[in-house]
Amino acid sequence: MPVETTSTHTATKTTGRIRQKNEEAILLAAAEEFAVHGYKGTSMNSIAMRVGLPKANLHYYFSSKLGLYVEVMRNILNLWDSAFSNLRAEDDPATALAGYIRAKMEFSRRQPLASKIFAMEVISGGECLAEHFNQDYQEWFRGRAAVFQAWIDQGKMDPVDPVHLIFLLWGSTQHYADFSSSISRLTGRKKQTKEDFAKATDNLIQIILKGCGLTPPAQA
């Protein structure tokens, strides 16, 4: 068996870092193109031009536009779901929900294009999400609803429909990314600031938690 030398190991690590950096840059450029032009209006060539790589290099990392689009969608959903997966029946619901709302709003502030891509896909029928929303995802979703039901059964919060509460959490937090242009026009601002998002977050926490019979926790 050949022995891996120090120089070979270093070269492998360097190649891995370059690949990861290029993939991240491609995914970001793809997200920007998909958010502006939609799936049909985006081409591999336009993504390559935005990221500054030859089209052939782009195909080296992602063989097709559909594969790249699905990967962008997968990254979006994994980021959203990771925060939601941490909720547990033994948690304090007020603290857990407030933390989730803050995390989701911060995602909308930092990565609004990702949220818009997801919204556009769902509105267009969500065909590219069909594989993601499979039986495993449905079971994961039911598990999240079960956490809310456990809080209700334990008397920790008012009896509300867990499924509709989840939809409310998702929709209200994504609104600030998906409809940012209308929010800016209605509030007379060119762009929502970090302080605007902080104020909106505090209000969402107040409204949603109060609606669940919870007292919003003091922010640290």
Question: What pLDDT, in 10s, does the model give residues 27-54?
Answer: 889 988 988 888 889 999 999 999 998 8
Q: What digits encode the pLDDT tens for the residues 157-188?
A: 999 999 999 999 999 999 999 999 999 999 99
pLDDT of residue 137 exceeding 80: yes
Q: Which of 83, 92, 216 is nearest to 154 (CA)?
A: 92
Q: Does one domain contain both 199 and 151?
A: yes
Predicted local confidence at residue 2, as pLDDT: 54
The domain containing residue 1 runs over which residues? 1-63
Q: Does one domain contain both 97 and 192?
A: yes
Mean pLDDT score of the chain: 88
As given in the structure block, the two tokens for residue 220 are 């640290």
Q: Which amino acid type is present at position 55?
A: K
| CATH number of the domain that residue 42 is part of | 1.10.10.60
Predicted local confidence at residue 201, as pLDDT: 97
Predicted local confidence at residue 106, as pLDDT: 93
- What is the pLDDT confidence band of residue 14, given thresholds at 50, 70 and 90? low
Pick from 9, 29, 63: which residue ends a domain? 63
Q: Does one domain contain both 165 and 116?
A: yes
42-64 core/surface letters (b: 16 or more CB in 10 A; e: else): bebebbbebbebeeeebeebbee
Q: What digits encode the pLDDT tens for the residues 95-131?
A: 999 999 999 999 899 888 888 888 888 888 878 777 7
pLDDT of residue 144 exceeding 90: yes
From CA 192, how far away is CA 194, in angstroms rounded? 7
Q: Does one domain contain both 58 and 119?
A: no
CA distances from 178 to 47, 74, 122 (A): 22, 18, 12
Look at the block and give the residue holding tokens 């407030």.
98
Q: What digits encode the pLDDT tens for the residues 71-100?
A: 888 888 888 888 888 899 999 999 999 999
Pick from 39, 63, 87: which residue ends a domain? 63
From CA 192, how far away is CA 40, in angstroms rounded? 29
pLDDT of residue 8 exceeding 60: no
- Domain count for the chain, please give it: 2
As given in the structure block, the two tokens for residue 18 are 């370059």
Q: Does one domain contain both 77 and 48?
A: no
Predicted local confidence at residue 157, as pLDDT: 97
| Lowest-pLDDT choice from 113-117, 150-154, 177-181, 195-199 | 113-117
Q: Does one domain contain both 27 and 104?
A: no
Pick from 46, 63, 80: which residue ends a domain? 63
Predicted local confidence at residue 104, as pLDDT: 93
| CATH number of the domain that residue 218 is part of | 1.10.357.10
Q: Does one domain contain both 108 and 45?
A: no
Q: Does one domain contain both 110 and 194?
A: yes
From CA 200, how far away is CA 204, in angstroms rounded? 6
Q: Does one domain contain both 113 and 155?
A: yes
- What is the pLDDT confidence band of residue 11, given thresholds at 50, 70 and 90? low
CB of 55 closer than 8 Å to CB of 44: yes
